[in-house]
Structure 1
């Protein structure tokens, strides 16, 4: 039971042409302008409630396909996951309307033939996926909605291309960024051992409070013994409840940043070789961490050039969008998305 992050990959179950850009359509009265109550306005253009709920349904279908319906009650910074997604979908639709208005102001047009071509391709895929058609029918997602999605995706694509051209991220700019942020591209790995006293059962559910307290007390006692010089590996073999590492004296091998859960990683990368942590609490339980070794290797520029370009591109696009939003009168009606 290494304190590793979950690798669950979000599988897109609904084969709409948009992926991470589940985007809004563009109608003369605003996106979804006549669809129930307004959930937002961008310079007077309405984002309608029904249109919003269709987009929300797509997001919910995708998440439930991976995490199940129980995901919606999970706490995320003081609100439920459902509330967070509801607000994120609204923000996405507002961003799309801002982009559309900007592109239309600059006389950018979308080729109707391209929209028809993409819709035809999508329809052919849908006909082979009866469960997708059922989902679309249940949520009243029709041909017009899908075509407006395609149209807006094309607006967003053209917008991104325009910003990328403005940024002009040539090799010199990328090299300058690399040179000025060199430590970001140093691949540091830590070799650590740990002793784990679990606070979750084999079913992944939290243990009763009395067992959690008992685990904490045992962990504190083991920490004293380790700090007093007892052999860490022997104590790990005898007491650690991580079956994956206990037999190896708690050895987790080398790992980079991003592999372990945040609480564990933070402490492991702060410790120096030979140092032992205080108790570290994660969702798995109480850990005592000993760092055995650290190694680092600088990634060459050529291996990270595209990564830098992508990072600077996304930053440039975000800055452009934020600047455009600052010029707009944006109204949100959060009471209409509950």
Structure 2
């Protein structure tokens, strides 16, 4: 198992993730210039000023922003200041603290045994303790920091489940959202290499004549290892990002109908439409009318939406007090010589690394918790982040076709701000 897999798992770990900006902050660095004191309080719980300083200084070190000019230019490129970066980092830690407090209030705390189970499962995928420690190092984290991220990811998932129990989607809501998948088609395919058109045509002729079963042909001929293990199943087109040649051909098929040869960048496809979801004219009246995969995806989306709304209100009602930034913190510099009109305009429009959208994650979307905690609780090998690797699926993203239903494909946003401060672009 590669160290990058562990890194992606950490990045998928909800608001606890040590992703991008946060990876460096997991290190054991002890930067100079610590001031002591309290940066903020969240319902009376303190966030230490040194925690914020260490986070920012670790990030600077990881990006080689070690001089005043490099730091100042980087801040200006994103239209930021030391104060705004500090505010984003405080918001990040405040959101983490609110998840912990919310979990305690809703009896959603996670046991030590569960946390150790997840860590042991991940550690067990390495041949030796040395390999495990090296993977942690390569991922820019430590075992202690990794344990903390797993604990918080599982806590966020448990909190989400607790909120869902008291605020479950209604049938009417499920019907309304499921109806948006009207006309969705599920399909299977056999993939041949680009130079094997003759073989593909021969197989297609045998399928059409009844000489060869489609599923048997998948097992014998398909070059898409990811879908071949599932009898060629690609999933529902409206739940996937499929290449246009594939979707165009699929849209013309009735249920159980097989296409002609379809050429794409991946080679030659033989496509079979295995199911079609059609909403009755009178509308949906039972969840049994909705395919399981679509219904699960809709329910997960609605639960996430309701959790986001709950968390937004919970955060707004929290007593969060941010203290003034000490002038002596080592990342504080005079920005006057870096904040030119030209630099500000470029930072605001050219998509530079120092974008300022990090705060949006605090209230928008929490899909990361689904994949990270579900994958963690099942002892998975970061399947959400690693899905479909090496598979020539017709998906544009080549990462599997049902991530939305299972969670973990949208790990960029957590309920409490998984987009890390100062690096969300």
TM-score bracket, shorter-length normalisation: 0.3 to 0.5
State TM-score, norm by structure 2: 0.36
Q: Which has the higher contact order (CA 8 A, sep 6+)?
A: 2
State TM-score, norm by structure 1: 0.43
More strand by share: 1
